[in-house]
A and B are shown apart, each in its own frame.
Chain A
Amino acid sequence: MGGAFGLSTLLSNLEASAEGAGSPPRFLLMYWPVGTVPSSFRPMGTGRDYTTSPILQPFEAAGLREDMIVLYGLSDKGLITTGSGGSEGGVVLRTTGANIPGTRENGGERDDAVAGGPSFDQIFLKNVARLSPLGSAPKYVNAIGDARVDSHETSCVCLSYDYATRSTPSATPGGSITENTPLLPELSPARLYAQIFAGFMPGGATDANQQELRRALQLKKSVLDYALTELERIRGMAPASERDKIDVHADAIRKLEQQLSARGGDPARCRLPEQPAAELIAPTGSTVDYGNPAGLVDESPVLAELGTRHTDVIRAAFQCDLLRVATFQWASAVDKVAFKGLKPGDPEGIYRHHPLSHRVVGSVDPLPSRDEDRDVVAFLANVHTWFNEKTATIVKSFKEATDVLGNPLLDTTIIPFVTDTADATHRRSPLPSLIFGGRALGIQGGQYQNFEGAPRPHNDVWLSIAQAYFPDAESVLVPLAAETFAQNPASFTGPIAGLWQKPK
């Protein structure tokens, strides 16, 4: 496609938003692996006056407290896991909210969960028309920072599942099983960039671009003028009883003309990010290294770079309104990312995250009794803090960015930040979950709710978020009634009170 692709897309989406609708909503699902360390995660107090915790401190330090909802004490109750592993099943349950029908036969362990329903990014994309920029393709992207697994799992490296289903060989219950098709993430930020921005001409960069945009605007105005003239012609022929109808139509056209004249949006705000290096690619592969969780090099800088580049592309795509739905998975649910210096008393030690998590003997909450286990738990807490530091940087970049209509990007972007299990013991409860952004959509940041005494299903988080996308629905269960997760009333209660308020 030529440069006109980008300009006409921008123009159309500018007009669509200029026609009274404001900035469109967005959705970015993010994920971190292996749960948390409850004692270091749970804030003190609840509501708006909570005291943050060490693990959540990076968000506070980044000035994101008022843009963040912290939830704890969620669960997967009411959901069936059918032979899936704690991590493997956890990711699938988290993003689909639907029963797992079985596990995939992949030549490895028999616990690679298959999805029994579409994931929530796809559910929202399908049911919320404004999450699809008109004319753009693709409608969504998925990206990952580290895709290494230990037994050929697909479930561990996928957040997004299609409505389309397919047959796949099954370990449990055996034979073949029907799964919702995994929409595997992109490993390479450079390919992600090309996928979204190929053929796109950045706005405001050249005189030629501006000239073309001006001509397009002028011709659009000419079309609207013609339509107004013809409405006036019809008005002369129509009976008096029909003139109100004509007047409403004419008023709508005039308003659109005014918005075009006022240049309701500025394509110059759509600036492409630096093109990522082609050699920066998320690692893949399947190895079992629980016997030796030590790593050779600190891989966290590379993971941080991958996270930055992937989310830079996604953020720019959101700003340019080429895309409104995306997922970013920091790493596989059984990740092998090696971190240096995060284990207490071992500043030069390099350890792989998920393999070391399997070395905890006893519980994580309360803390284990042996010092060596407590050191491992501290390592896990430090890794979670590391993920939060990097995520805070990303969320802050969304907060500081504006879209082509000049509105703060984070205010119209909801960023759920979820994990697969409660902690290293692979418990399914009490789960932590965070929600960033969406202030203009009614999301009420700046609070902490803890459901440990009476765990809420994690699907209630999705229903809470859904309110922001269906602000006029009496109940979000109405527009979502046909969805797979909704056929299992045991898996949800309803939206969590206080997380959303209808915007004025």
Chain B
Amino acid sequence: MKLLYYPGCTIKRNALEYERTSLAVLNKLGIDVIELDKWYCCGALYSLAIDDLMKHLGAVRTLVKAQVQSRNTGTNDLLTLCPMCFNVLKRVNKLLIENPDNLETIAKFMDEEEPYNVGVNVYHIVEILSNNIEKLKENIVKDLNGVNIAVYYGCTLLRPKEIAIDDPEHPWIIEKLIEDLGGKIVDYPFKSECCGSYQVLINRDIVYDKSGTIINEASTRGADLIVTVCPLCYYNLKITLKNMKRPPKAKIVYISELLAYLLGLDKVLSTETKALLENVFSQAGKNV
């Protein structure tokens, strides 16, 4: 299986371990990941102004580059790790598929690029992992038994529902993945609540409040680990946990870090993450 890969700016700046572990996990599953030679900022937020096509250009240009590279790689499937990039790229792709007049306007403006034929499929890594569950099962070397795991999805993988990777009200795709690998799920009502998002730049208290509620609820219900997929959620949850006066036991990791650990890919984990996971796994075993 081959995938074209769009990293996005945040992955390359602030979420290097998410990228490293994700690529290592996919590699272990025999998936060939090819980073686009050229890619551009997706815009981070999908522009809702219907007459402002300019804001979509970065995403369209990336889709065109994926189209160009699909010819010599033989795949139209574009992998994303960051849910915000996934959200923007998939929504722009949808806009172009459904509005040929917008596509034409953009094609005329970007006349230095080849026209986009709306043939690229945008995927998030969770979808890829979910489709390759059998391979994951074959390759895990560590036992998940005993660790209580809560999943935190955040917003942009699930909303709007037209591009969601699962039911936006009751997502279970990551829980199913973990259950299939033998893990124990802690269900709780805040897994698609907002973490505070970009308020981290403006008013941290909002983030401490929103993320604090998420962490506390998951912990109260017994979570040893909170698994997430978004660099911004991850950042917000981590700083909130650090800021708590009486931090609960739950620890925060990317799904790819957990999977890398289970697959025995210890060398792609940072010493800190590895120690964190080893600690959680040894403690959980004893408590149960």
Q: Do A and B interact with each other, yes or no? A: no
Binding site for A on B (CB under 8 A): none
Point out residues on A near B: beta carbons under 8 Å.
Answer: none
